[in-house]
Chains A and B, each alone.
Chain A
Amino acid sequence: EPEVTQTPSHQVTQMGQEVILRCVPISNHLYFYWYRQILGQKVEFLVSFYNNEISEKSEIFDDQFSVERPDGSNFTLKIRSTKLEDSAMYFCASSVTGGSSGNTIYFGEGSWLTVV
């Protein structure tokens, strides 16, 4: 079964450093997403991406964050100047369609970011 893959699975970074989390969505999917889950809390939407541009973002997704699809397969999340409170599991996801009926979203295994 096709799956969303994410790298790295775990990253430890110093406060203030930049991190890039990488994702390979399912190949025939057109919509890509990043979600965040702080330890013990709910899964929160960050951003959705379609046709090489952001289609929707939450208030969490401020200027510290950016997304990019640098080639035909990868989808990245960049976090600049990391803060302690950025420590969380970051999930990439993809779906075939956007908001239409029948849209199923699939998640990767997550990238656990620890900021020290």
Chain B
Amino acid sequence: GIQVEQSPPDLILQEGANSTLRCNFSDSVNNLQWFHQNPWGQLINLFYIPSGTKQNGRLSATTVATERYSLLYISSSQTTDSGVYFCAGQDNYGQNFVFGPGTRLSVLP
């Protein structure tokens, strides 16, 4: 099956710092998305980013599909950015979205 990996597994930042989260994925993964799981467990769509770069406020994402990785950038982090960040990709041959193991981000005041 398809593989989705994320790094680092855990990240602790001081408020105001910047960070980069990485997602590596195997062949036959498309429709890559980034999600934020907040402390209440909700999965919030951040980006649909199969290729290229997108920005939304302090967050931006870049996917280089030919090299099978995606990066999520968080600038000027805030305590509300804390939670787990997941990337997920869809199998080319089915409907299953496969999630990575997540990066747990803690932003300290």
Contact = CB atoms under 8 A, between A and B. Distances in A.
Interface of A: 31, 33, 35, 37, 42-45, 48, 50, 55-56, 58, 89, 91, 93, 95, 98-99, 101-107, 109-110, 112
Interface of B: 30-31, 33, 35, 40-43, 45, 48, 50, 86, 88, 90-102
**At the interface, is chain A mostly helix, strand, loop or mixed?**
strand
B45 A110 contact: no
Contact of B88 (A43, A56, A109): A43
B41 A89 contact: yes
A48 B33 CA distance: 18
B33 A42 contact: no
Nearest to A112: B41
Given A42-B102, A48-B95, A56-B95, A107 B35 contact: yes
Nearest to B104: A40
Contact of B31 (A50, A56, A104): A104
A44, A56, A99, A110 interface centre (most CB from chain B within 10 Å): A99
Given A99-B91, A107-B35, A45 B96 contact: yes
Contacts of A93: 97
A91 B93 CA distance: 22
A11 to B, nearest CB: 14
B100 A99 contact: no
A43 B86 contact: yes
Given A99-B91, A103-B31, A109 B97 contact: no
Contacts of A99: 30-31, 90-95
